[in-house]
Structures are given as structure tokens and as C-alpha cells.
Amino acid sequence: MNSPHTIVFDLDGTLVDTAPDLITALNYVLDREGLPPVPMASARNMIGAGARKLIERGLEAEGRTVTPADMDRMTADFIGYYADHIAVESRPFEGLEAALDQFSAQGHRLAVCTNKLEWLSKRLLDELDLSRRFAAICGADTFGVQKPDPTIFRETVARAGGAVKASIMVGDAGTDVGVARRAGVPVIGVSFGYTDVPIAELKPDRLIHHMRDLPAAASSLMTV
């Protein structure tokens, strides 16, 4: 039996398929600017670096740039709309809750480390009845740094009551692999998330294609 570990999850594209609601919010903002909507398929890979970056990428797709003041206004519009429509279509990935049950039964701690704002992350997980499963839910504004800065990972683990040397990162994109490498911890990549660079090319320590495979992948990385 492995000693208790802290399993740290990214949120968007790892725990929850949030793309439908995020892209609906993006297209709401673009429509207000008189711009055409971004197709769901192409927009999925724009997600993962926060609301502002998502809007920037949406504008870039139309060859548009805006002033910092306009970007501030559009970001506020996005967050306001998204907060009110945060779990219309967003759902946990198949097999997630069974995997979390297995981790909890084995005594492992669970935490969320995301570049989404903390209050939005908590609202989403509350709506999906998932918040109670996590010892810590930390976002881009919680410690003033974002992934891949290792500070956000270390502080998330500490808030969850764990130790960095007995922790694992689970994510879908370069920021997740990057934060794990900088923090000196192993990382499991999920192939079903949102990334402009295929996760396999980023060489995570383990790669899974379904949440049912997560507990075994994590167990194989536990060395203490």
C-alpha cells in the first residue's frame, strides 16, 4: 500500500469538460463586439490560460486586436456572463468520480490547482457537487501566480495538508507539465483535454485516455 499522496488536478479539460460553457461565454462577448462566433471544435484548444487569454485568442482568430481598456471591459463581460452560466453544459469527464472515490478510499488527499479564478472554480465545482471532494481549490488569484510558476503548486499542496515530495500533478496542457517539472513532481497527462500542443508531445510521466486509468497510473508513480 502506498503512503498517502496529494493528487493535484487541473480543472478545465482535466476534471470537467467546461468547453461548451466557456466557448458560449466567449461567443457572447464576441457577438457584443460585432464579431462572428468561434466554432466549438477550434475553440477548445484556446482554453486553459484564463479568461483574458481565451478572449485574446478568440480575437486573434478574427485578426483583431483591442486596447487594454477594451480587453478589461470584455474580460469583465465574459466573467459576468460565464459566472451566471457556469454549469449549463459542463460535466465531469466520464469515470472521474469513480477515480476520486478510489483515491479517497486509499487515503490520498485531493486538490485543484487551476489558472481559472478561485471563486469561479469553486462555483463550478459546487454546481457539480464536487467541491466537497477536495481539500484545497486554488486558482490564478489565490496566491497571485499562475501555472507554470511552481509556487501555485507548492502552496496548493500545503493548503491541502500534503507534502510536495508525496504529490502528483494531473493535467491536460503545457502549463500542467511545466508546473510539475518546476516543482519536481511527476505528472500524468490526460489526452481528452484542451491544448494547442498534443499532450503526448509534452512527455508527461504517464498518459491516460480515460479517467478509469488514472488510479493505476498514479499508483505507478508513487515512490514514497
Catalytic residues: 10
* CB neighbourhood size of 146 (10 A): 21
Sequence-distant (6+) residues with CB within 8 A of 107 are 4
Sequence-distant (6+) residues with CB within 8 A of 6 are 108, 109, 110, 111, 135, 157, 160, 161, 162, 163, 166, 167, 168
Give the residue ranges of the annotated binding site for Mg(2+): 10, 12, 172
Q: Is the dihedral of CA 143, 198, 86, 111 positive or negative?
A: negative
